[in-house]
Amino acid sequence: MNEIALIFRALLRNKVGAILISLQIALTLTIMVNAVFMMQERHAQMQRPSGLDEANLFYLSNTIFATDYNQEVALRDDLELLRNTPGVVDAIQINAIPLSGGGWSMGLQTEPGENQSSAGVAVYMVDDHAIHTLGLELLSGENFAETDIQWRESGTTRWPAKTIVTQAMAKELYPDDWQSALGKTVYISQTQPIQIIGIVRALQAPWNGWNGVERSMLVPYQMETSNSRYMIRTEPGRRDELMPIIEKALAQSNKGRIIRGLRTMEETRERSYRGHNAVNKILTTVVFTLTLITGFGIVGLAMFSINRRTKQIGTRRALGASRSQIMGYFLIENLMITTLGVVIGSAGAIGLNIWLVNTFTLSPINPVLVVIGIACIYLVGLLAVLYPARKAANISPAIATRTA
């Protein structure tokens, strides 16, 4: 105990150096904890399942320019061609692609009328092959029948009579018991009734940043549009081989349109989360270099203080101090400095988090993370001071007898 007080008093004689390194440790902890927290949040977002069989799906755009183009017939022909191509599991026309960033949203409400609250939902216009093509899991209820599928003329504001919603959407409408949503009639576009005939486990909306990204609905529509998309599911492992074949087959089967924008679902996911991925990589680099710099800073300062005190250390050794006592001295000194840094740093970490929460609407930090951060800092401090401390311990007592 006596020794600790001694070390503390010795430290006070060189306050500024100790405070500087403490501040550095404090800032490192502040940044480290918040950066890891931000990375965790992004990582969690990226882990949410889209509900799709992503590995085997790709899509393309069908842009019609010919003026004498019978869309209804051409769509039937295209789907027939796609579904009969060897290696293709199934295919549909769809109005929007999950996670792609562009889509259509509506509101659903349990009571009709203009001033009722409604829940936002992403709309996917598809036919009865959608569940099979996308690889969705039907939790309860049933799929659309072939007779449910209607032809949607462009510009119409009418909606079909049936819909399939995701579990998250059912929960949003009926928070007490999502299963009770099955068979219920809800209202779209404020007043039009639409009946929930099925519930699927998951199907993400096109917007990954939307807090309702799990809320989607399928409606049985085939669309009249000069710019439509086909989503195609292939047998496992055959996607890349089939993409150029299908592009060519479609382009040749009808010259009044352009087939373009072929893209896999995997690429769409990568693009959708590219910003998240990039931020995470940058933050990792920042945390890593920061820790290194702080570590080396501790090493550098300790080395210098040992060099300056060479003679003192030699004298202590000559007076009977053991090597481990010398080492202990520097380890304890470092521990004190680190502790000061950690105390300031914990406050800083929480302060920065509060600022981030207020400015960027992030969620508050998990305290466990601060504890882990503190443990890391202590470890780094210990590792950094180990080499200088050993060097100090190895100073020969004979030094004391020499003049400076």
Q: Which residues bind another protein (CB under 8 A)?
A: 16-17, 20-21, 23-24, 27-28, 30-31, 34-35, 38, 63, 65-67, 115, 154-158, 189-190, 226-227, 258, 260, 274-275, 277-279, 281-283, 286, 289-290, 293-294, 296-297, 300-301, 304-305, 307-308, 356, 359-360, 404
Distances (CA, A) of 121 to 102, 163, 197, 330, 358: 14, 12, 16, 62, 28
Q: How far is the CB of 118 from another protein (least distance, A)?
A: 11
Q: How far is the CB of 295 from another protein (least distance, A)?
A: 10
Q: Which is nearer to another protein, 9 or 13 (CB)?
A: 13
Q: Which is nearer to another protein, 89 or 374 (CB)?
A: 374
Q: Is residue 15 a contact partner of residue 333, using CB atoms and an 8 Å limit?
A: no
Q: Locate the DSSP E strands across 66-142.
A: 88-94, 105-109, 119-126, 138-141
The residue with tokens 């902890």 is 29
Q: At what angle do helices 310-318 and 323-360 cross, to 10 degrees?
A: 140
Q: Which is nearer to another protein, 289 or 324 (CB)?
A: 289
Q: Tell me how many degrees the CA angle 130-135-141 measures, rounded to the nearest 5.
A: 65
Q: How far is the CB of 141 from another protein (least distance, A)?
A: 27
Q: Which is nearer to another protein, 4 or 293 (CB)?
A: 293
Q: Which is nearer to another protein, 132 or 311 (CB)?
A: 311
User: How much of the chain is in helix, strand and coil states, percent to nearest 5?
Assistant: 55, 20, 25
DSSP character for 112?
A: -
Q: How far apart are CA 45 and CA 208, in angstroms?
A: 8
Q: How far is the CB of 324 from another protein (least distance, A)?
A: 25
Q: How far apart are CA 229 and CA 95, in angstroms?
A: 6
Q: How far is the CB of 289 from another protein (least distance, A)?
A: 6
Sheet order of strands, 57-64 included: 88-94, 227-234, 57-64, 257-264
Q: How far is the CB of 311 from another protein (least distance, A)?
A: 10
Q: Which is nearer to another protein, 201 or 281 (CB)?
A: 281
Q: How far is the CB of 205 from another protein (least distance, A)?
A: 16
Q: How far is the CB of 156 from another protein (least distance, A)?
A: 5
Those residues whose C-beta lies under 8 Å from the C-beta of residue 144, and which sit 6 or more positions away, are: 127, 128, 130, 162, 164, 197, 218, 220
Q: Which is nearer to another protein, 147 or 154 (CB)?
A: 154
Q: Is residue 271 a contact partner of residue 127, using CB atoms and an 8 Å limit?
A: no
Rg, the chain, Cα only: 33
Q: Which is nearer to another protein, 151 or 296 (CB)?
A: 296
Q: How far is the CB of 61 from another protein (least distance, A)?
A: 8
3-class DSSP assignment, residue 198? strand
Q: Which is nearer to another protein, 294 or 346 (CB)?
A: 294
DSSP character for 268?
A: H
Q: How far is the CB of 63 from another protein (least distance, A)?
A: 6
DSSP character for 231?
A: E
Strands 185-188, 192-200: parallel, antiparallel or unpaired by DSSP? Answer: antiparallel
Q: Which is nearer to another protein, 47 or 67 (CB)?
A: 67
> CA dihedral defined by 98, 104, 110, 116, rounded to 10 degrees?
140
